[in-house]
């Protein structure tokens, strides 16, 4: 383990890779600030650039962008009450009221310190848990992998929010369907190509990610007529206003510690992710706060800002655990990273720890560097970076569209991909208008090939019988977890309904 860690450290410390962390954090902060563009879009926009780099540098750049985008999302949440992504939505609850009270600098500093602490605690836990889980998962068989992928896909749907579960499952199936386009990976038979040669290799992951996230998000922003508000709080952020007093630090320290550990645990669960972690951490802190402070929540409470910020950063770190150790992405962003790693010829999973320890450890170590960069470089520069938001949308939006298109074109040099992007963007816009979530589709698409391969192997080994689902205790355990996750939201809803019905009766 130590040898791998040192190898990762030396890789992460290479000047070029350090530069990638810095560039990634800056680019991520800028993209994450733009309302509508979250970490998924930011990471998707970086993929074409990472194809020109070696795997370690590429994934380090993406990890930096991920952190930067989450931080950028917090910045726009605090300054203009427009969360860059869902995971920073809770930040607006207390961050924006603080900015309205002329405490924008303090809110940004608290958000940055909380994110840093969350990321640090998350990275420390990751260093110890990831190798342990990786060594256990070396004994996994095809049936276990199939069950795990089913668990990942199901939990993404289960945690998608009230009333969204069936829609998320529909989108997962849609993603799996898109994954079947092209030559069959086992027999080589063409499937759904309709004689089009450009479809023989299937739909490109990059194309799908760019069209459904980067391009579709910008188009949605244009259709909604959203513009970035030139809020006064943006003007009031100065470096001197970003200071926290000792009593304030003492007040939020326990919150940060609790929310970081909690956020990490939630982040590890496939599908749960940073958004759920931030909401839950906020709820917990509000319940734990004394009556006097409880009233402050929603009006600019320091704890109310520190809790979601620590939790979402720790959860972002936690979501790397299933990706690096099992090869199963825990969120939409890590799903994109999985796709990029596969494109490099690296299969994330238990073998990653053995075969590519440099990639495994350099990602973990660079995550920590990413947090450090955000705190040391990005935070003091926020007053200047936020000025970039002043670029008018009529210039900014075409540039984002341009980068999305050219990014896809420069990988394949095939104009058919651009045409396909237009078609997929139109479909994605239709689905977005019908409130279908996009992340489950991308997850289904990325896991589709692996799911089919493992299912076919398991079925061939068990001679066509589905016994493999309960023959091994591990497979059975994972399948039970899948069923529990699937029925849990319904069960909780039913219990809440029962309780609601009983309460008036008791009154």
Partner 1 sequence: MTMTKDRFGGLLFLLLCLTYGYYAGDIPMLPRDEFEPFNAQTMPNWLAGLGIFLSLLMIFSKGSSSVKNEPLLAANVGIMLGLLSFTFLLSLALPWFGFPVTTSLFLIASYRLLGERRPKMLLLSSVPFALALWLLLTQVLEVYIAPARLALW
Residue where the block lists tokens 């896809």: 408
Residues 32-61 that bind partner 1 (CB under 8 A): 52
Distance CA 308, CA 71 (A): 12
Among the listed ranges 130-138, 169-177, 256-264, 348-356, the one in contact with partner 1 (CB under 8 A) is: 169-177
Candidates 21-29, 71-79, 164-172, 349-357: pick the segment binding partner 1 (CB under 8 A).
164-172
> Are the C-beta atoms of residues 386 and 75 closer than 8 Å to each other?
yes
Is there binding between residue 489 and partner 1 (CB under 8 A)? no
CB of 324 within 8 A of CB of 317?
Answer: no
- Nearest 5°: CA angle at 374, between 368 and 376? 100
- CA pair distance 390, 79, nearest whole angstrom: 13
169 binds partner 1 (CB under 8 A): yes
Work out whether 2 is an interface residue with partner 1 (CB under 8 A): no
How many residues bind partner 1 (CB under 8 A)? The answer is 61
- Comparison of 15 and 162: residue with beta carbon closer to partner 1: 162
User: Smaller CB distance to partner 1: residue 187 or 287?
Assistant: 187
Establish if 419 lies at the interface with partner 1 (CB under 8 A).
Answer: yes
Site string for partner 1, 214-233 (x = CB under 8 A): -----x--xxxx--------
Residues 354, 433, 484, 488: which binds partner 1 (CB under 8 A)? 433
Residue 410 sits in the site that holds partner 1 (CB under 8 A):
yes
Return the closest-CA partner of residue 444 out of 319, 338, 325.
338
Cβ 17 to partner 1 shortest distance, Å: 19
* Stretch binding partner 1 (CB under 8 A), from 91-99, 119-127, 183-191, 488-496: 183-191
Can you read off the two tokens belonging to residue 222?
């244009």
What is the footprint of partner 1 within residues 347-406 (CB under 8 A)? 392-395, 397-399, 401-402, 405-406
Q: In the set 187, 240, 245, 287, which binds partner 1 (CB under 8 A)?
A: 187
Q: Do residues 327 and 450 make contact, with C-beta atoms less than 8 angstroms apart? A: yes
| Interface stretch with partner 1, choices 126-134, 199-207, 333-341, 451-459 (CB under 8 A) | 451-459
Residue 230, burial from CB neighbour count under 10 angstroms (0-12, 13-18, 19+): exposed
- φ, ψ for residue 315, nearest 5 deg: -70, -35
Q: Does 415 bind partner 1 (CB under 8 A)?
A: yes
DSSP 3-state of 195: coil
Smallest distance from partner 1 to CB 425, Å = 6
Asked if residues 15 and 25 have their Cβ atoms less than 8 Å apart, the reply is: no
71 or 159: whose CB is closer to partner 1? 159
Rounded to the nearest 10 degrees, what angle do helices 39-50 and 55-80 cross at? 150
Q: Which residues contact 470 (CB under 8 A, 6 or more apart)?
A: 476, 479
Distance of alpha carbon 474 from alpha carbon 480, whole angstroms: 10
Residue from 506, 463, 451, 487 nearest 144 by CA: 451
Q: At its nearest, how many Å lie between partner 1 and the CB of residue 55?
A: 18
Q: Does 127 bind partner 1 (CB under 8 A)?
A: no
Residue in 284, 372, 409, 470 binding partner 1, rule: CB under 8 A: 409
Report which of 14, 2, 3 is spatially closest to residue 53, judged by C-alpha positions.
14
Q: Which residues of 179-198 are buried (b: 16+ CB within 10 A; e: fewer)?
A: bbbbeeeeeeebeebeeeeb
Least separation in angstroms between CB 189 and partner 1: 4
Dist CA 61 CA 355 (whole Å): 21
Residue 476 lies near partner 1 (rule: CB under 8 A): no
3-state secondary structure of 368: helix
* In the complex, minimum distance from the CB of residue 141 to partner 1, in angstroms, rounded to a whole number: 16
Q: Which of residues 143-162 bind partner 1 (CB under 8 A)?
A: 161-162
Q: Which of 290, 285, 291 is nearest to 304 (CA)?
A: 285
Instruction: Using CB under 8 A, pick the residue from 100, 129, 135, 180 that binds partner 1.
Output: 180
19 binds partner 1 (CB under 8 A): no
**Is residue 138 part of the contact set for partner 1 (CB under 8 A)?**
no
In this structure, the chain runs to a length of 507
Binder among 75, 88, 425, 475 for partner 1 (CB under 8 A): 425
| DSSP string of 433-474, one letter each residue | HTT--SHHHHHHHHHHHHHHHHHHHHHHHTTT-TTHHHHSHH
Binding status of residue 235 toward partner 1 by CB under 8 A: no
Minimum separation from the CB atom of position 264 to partner 1 (A): 29
Q: Does 505 bind partner 1 (CB under 8 A)?
A: no
Which residues would be at the binding site for partner 1 (CB under 8 A)?
A: 52, 161-164, 166-167, 169-170, 173-174, 176-177, 180, 184, 186-187, 189-192, 219, 222-225, 392-395, 397-399, 401-402, 405-406, 409-410, 413, 415-416, 418-419, 421-422, 425-426, 429, 431, 433-436, 452, 455-456, 459-460, 463-464
């Amino acid at each position: 383990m130590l040898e791998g860690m040192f190898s990762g450290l030396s890789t992460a410390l290479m000047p070029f890779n350090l530069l990638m962390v810095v560039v990634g954090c800056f680019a991520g902060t800028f993209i994450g600030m733009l309302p509508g563009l979250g970490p998924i879009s930011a990471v998707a926009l970086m993929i074409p650039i990472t194809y020109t780099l070696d795997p370690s540098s590429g994934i380090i750049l993406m990890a930096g962008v991920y952190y930067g985008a989450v931080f950028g999302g917090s910045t726009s949440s605090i300054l203009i009450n427009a969360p860059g992504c869902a995971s920073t939505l809770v930040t607006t609850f207390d961050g924006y009221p603080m900015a309205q009270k002329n405490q924008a600098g303090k809110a940004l500093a608290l958000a940055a310190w909380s994110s840093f602490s969350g990321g640090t605690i998350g990275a420390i836990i990751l260093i110890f848990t990831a190798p342990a889980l990786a060594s256990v998962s070396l004994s996994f068989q095809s049936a276990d992998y199939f069950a795990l992928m089913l668990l990942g896909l199901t939990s993404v749907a289960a945690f998608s929010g009230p009333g969204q579960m069936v829609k998320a499952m529909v989108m997962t199936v849609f993603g799996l369907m898109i994954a079947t386009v092209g030559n069959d990976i086992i027999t080589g038979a063409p499937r759904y190509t309709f004689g089009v040669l450009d479809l023989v290799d299937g739909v490109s992951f990059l194309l799908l990610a760019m069209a459904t996230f980067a391009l579709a998000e910008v188009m949605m922003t244009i259709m909604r007529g959203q513009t970035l508000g030139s809020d006064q709080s943006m003007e009031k952020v100065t470096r001197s206003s970003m200071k926290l007093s000792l009593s304030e630090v003492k007040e939020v320290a326990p919150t940060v510690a609790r929310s970081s550990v909690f956020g990490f645990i939630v982040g590890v669960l496939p599908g749960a992710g940073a958004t759920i972690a931030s909401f839950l951490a906020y709820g917990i802190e509000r319940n734990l706060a004394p009556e006097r402070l409880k009233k402050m929540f929603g009006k600019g409470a320091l704890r109310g800002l520190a809790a979601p910020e620590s939790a979402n950063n720790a959860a972002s770190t936690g979501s790397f655990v299933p990706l690096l150790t099992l090869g199963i992405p825990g969120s939409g962003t890590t799903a994109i990273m999985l796709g990029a790693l596969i494109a490099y010829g690296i299969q994330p999973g238990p073998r990653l720890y053995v075969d590519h320890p440099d990639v495994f450890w350099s990602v973990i170590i660079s995550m920590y560097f990413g947090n450090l960069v955000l705190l040391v470089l990005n935070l003091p520069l926020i007053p200047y970076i936020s000025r970039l938001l002043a670029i008018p949308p009529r210039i900014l939006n075409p540039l984002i569209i341009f980068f999305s298109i050219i990014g896809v074109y420069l990988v394949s040099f095939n104009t058919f991909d651009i045409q396909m992007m237009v078609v997929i963007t139109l479909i994605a816009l239709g689905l977005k208008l019908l409130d279908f979530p996009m992340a489950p589709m991308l997850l289904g698409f990325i896991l589709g090939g692996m799911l089919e391969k493992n299912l076919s192997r398991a079925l061939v080994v068990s001679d066509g019988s589905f016994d493999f689902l309960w023959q091994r205790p591990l497979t059975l355990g994972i399948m039970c977890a899948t069923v529990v996750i699937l029925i849990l939201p319904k069960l909780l809803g039913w219990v809440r309904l029962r309780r609601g019905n009983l309460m008036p009766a008791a009154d």
